Chain A
Amino acid sequence: MKIGVLLKQVPDTESKIRIAGGGDGIEDGDIKWIINPYDEYAVEEAIRLKEKLGEGEVIILSLGPARTLDAARTALAMGGDRAVILDEDAFQGSDAYGTAKALAAAIEKEEIGIVFGGRQAIDLDNNQVPQIVGGLLGWPHATWINSFEFEGDSATVKRPVGGGSVDVVKVSIPAVFTCSKGLNEPRYASLPGIMKAKRKPVTKYSADDLGVSDDVGADNALTVLSDFTPPAARPAGRILQGELSDQVAELVKLLREEAKVL
């Protein structure tokens, strides 16, 4: 079986984010780029599934600029078999729908039978692409999974749905799954893995190859981000003074009378 992994390259959380002049995005300069942390769980689960099956191929799929290949190589070093990179100019500036449209077309072209992704990318936190891919392919999707048991033509997964409840779901394959913390412990790329990854095949498709020229790129985006600003600084807070018990009494009074949140 061909196992697909949706991968996105994102800024390291510790990177300083500078708004570009004009406010139409962020400056690329100082950013350290990494694999989206949730996508590492997806890569790991895909490799584990291949190991369990004893056959198959793990294909890393990513849309982004040329540097995206670095993130894909890291996933190949972990144990992915090959990568499909959509880095043509026509793809740049795609929104969630355009990205999903291109990835879904690549999944069909590669005849992939199961797809894993991260639960969300930590840059834009859209939390959309895998669900849209599922919708476009007509496959079921199960998001935010922290347990995955493969049973051949189905898989049983667990997904926390809030309020302390967990849905245990039997999902027919083919399907799209998004991975959350707790699913597995992603392996590190070994040195031999890193060496081997350099020679693993990378396929590039154009928007025309995939038949999505009218869906991808900034011009076709359905959602548009503009006017980037740094968050407003919170007004300076008040550190309470005096005896601890007096501070607590004052705090509750402030919460009720000044902030009106109690």
Chain B
Amino acid sequence: MADILVFCEVAGGKVKGTARELLGKAKELADGGDVTACLLGSDLGDAADGLGELGADTVIKVEHDALASYVPGAWAAALSQAIEDNNPDVVLGAASVLGKDLLPRAAALLEAGVAADCTDLREGDDGIEGTRSLYSGKALATVSVNSEPKFFSIRPNSFVIGDVEAGDGDVEDFEADLEDDYGYEVVEVESSGGDVIDLTEATRIISGGRSLKSLENFGLFDEPARLMGGAIGASRAAVDAGYATHSMQVGQTGKVVNPQLYIAAGISGAIQHLAGMRTSKVIVAINKDADAPIFQHATYGIVGDLFEVMPMLTEELAKVLSD
């Protein structure tokens, strides 16, 4: 039995999809212990409502003006104070852009260790332990944490959550004691526009390589990605050639993704690319070179020219998914 606190990220007035995943897993691992959701922000609105259904026994809202935008010092202080007050055995958070930045600093304030970017969690001999992927995915290891509490950040989409036993979802407020100035001011947020799904949290991804030949041709992916509710990624070669932005790059020097479905179109499958996507549940390879290494990692493969295959795929997806 363990008391588990889940740090839930909020976007657009709602908890992100990772909260459902982490609360569901927490409920399973707590084995009768308390599951607490913890939300940070300046105005959380009704984001804390309904989390009982996702498994939370208690929901802690930490609202403070200093948390209006992401300021690492302020958020780390607020989260560590809420954790100290709640005194859980285990803290879970997503290994997202924000989670990777925040959790190590928050844990350090409590002299606690973080098992980072875990792809699995389980009850071990000495409490909850995790699995980490190391050396570009060329090794796996068990990670355990010798501190109270134990922190784990979880690679998004690591768990498939079925029915979850509901908790009470009682909402409590926690007042954090924060300073006025943490020497970090977000002066502007530049947005490329649109409601883009972040690659690291996407459940379905279509990625293209240099064989797309141009920025315009990446537009081939827009419609299938929209139909699947997915995001668009790219190989390093495509980014270096200027066909895609660096924020779309999957792999060693880009993003690590972990979707349910990863479609690699015209990507050969270099080790640097595999490092960023090899834990995907299902990998589809589309490549005209039957000897491309990507086929060795694919669940399903189509040997063919992506310029022929993609329009067919778009049409087929439209047929089955639009109704």
Residues of A within 8 A of B (CB): 11, 13-14, 16-17, 19, 26, 37-38, 95-97, 100, 122-129, 131-132, 134-136, 139-144, 146, 156, 158, 160-172, 175, 181-182, 221-231, 234, 237-240, 244-245, 247-249, 251-252, 254-256, 259, 261-262
**Given the complex, which residues of A lie within 8 Å of B182, measured CB to CB?**
140
In the complex, how many residue pairs between chain A and chain B have their CB atoms under 8 Å apart? 263
User: Which residues 295-310 of B have a CB within 8 angstroms of A?
Assistant: 295-304, 308-309
Can you list 21 A-B contacts (CB < 8 A)? A13-B272, A97-B108, A97-B111, A123-B134, A124-B132, A129-B104, A131-B105, A134-B73, A141-B73, A162-B98, A163-B197, A168-B186, A221-B146, A225-B141, A237-B295, A240-B301, A251-B284, A255-B300, A259-B261, A259-B300, A262-B320
Q: Which of B145, B184, B199, B275 contacts A222 (CB 8 A)?
A: B145
Instruction: Please state if B105 and A261 are interface contacts (CB–CB under 8 Å).
Output: no
Instruction: Please state if B98 and A156 are interface contacts (CB–CB under 8 Å).
Output: no
Of chain B, the residue at the smallest CB distance from A245 is B312
A25-B109 Cα distance, complex, nearest whole Å = 29
**Given the complex, which residues of B lie within 8 Å of A100, measured CB to CB?**
108
**Given the complex, which residues of A lie within 8 Å of B115, measured CB to CB?**
223
Interchain nearest-CB distance for A158 vs B (Å) = 7
**Given the complex, which residues of B lie within 8 Å of A13, measured CB to CB?**
136, 252, 271-272, 275
A184-B101 Cα distance, complex, nearest whole Å = 22
Interchain nearest-CB distance for A32 vs B (Å) = 13
Chain B interfacial residues counted at CB < 8 A: 98
Instruction: Please state if B105 and A239 are interface contacts (CB–CB under 8 Å).
Output: no
Interchain nearest-CB distance for A76 vs B (Å) = 24
Interchain nearest-CB distance for B232 vs A (Å) = 11
Instruction: Please state if B136 and A128 are interface contacts (CB–CB under 8 Å).
Output: no
Name which of A164, A227, A251 has the most chain B CB atoms within 10 A of its CB.
Answer: A164
Of chain B, the residue at the smallest CB distance from A178 is B101
Given A162-B97, A224-B144, A228-B140, residue A255 in contact with residue B284 (CB < 8 A):
yes
User: Which residues 133-190 of B have a CB within 8 angstroms of A?
Assistant: 133-147, 182-190
Name which of B183, B189, B252 has the most chain A CB atoms within 10 A of its CB.
Answer: B183
A129-B104 Cα distance, complex, nearest whole Å = 8
- B213-229 CB contact bits vs A (8 Å, 1 = yes)? 00000000000000010
Of chain A, the residue at the smallest CB distance from B114 is A128
Given A140-B183, A229-B140, A252-B316, residue A134 in contact with residue B105 (CB < 8 A):
yes
A176-B14 Cα distance, complex, nearest whole Å = 31
**Given the complex, which residues of B lie within 8 Å of A248, measured CB to CB?**
302, 309, 312-313, 316
**Given the complex, which residues of B lie within 8 Å of A244, measured CB to CB?**
302, 304, 308-309, 312
Instruction: Please state if B116 and A127 are interface contacts (CB–CB under 8 Å).
Output: yes
Instruction: Please state if A240 and B300 are interface contacts (CB–CB under 8 Å).
Output: yes
Instruction: Please state if B116 and A261 are interface contacts (CB–CB under 8 Å).
Output: no
Interchain nearest-CB distance for B103 vs A (Å) = 8
Q: Which of A122, A164, A223 contacts B114 (CB 8 A)?
A: A223
Given A229-B139, A244-B308, residue A261 in contact with residue B282 (CB < 8 A):
yes
- B37-80 CB contact bits vs A (8 Å, 1 = yes)? 00000000000000000000000000000000110110010000
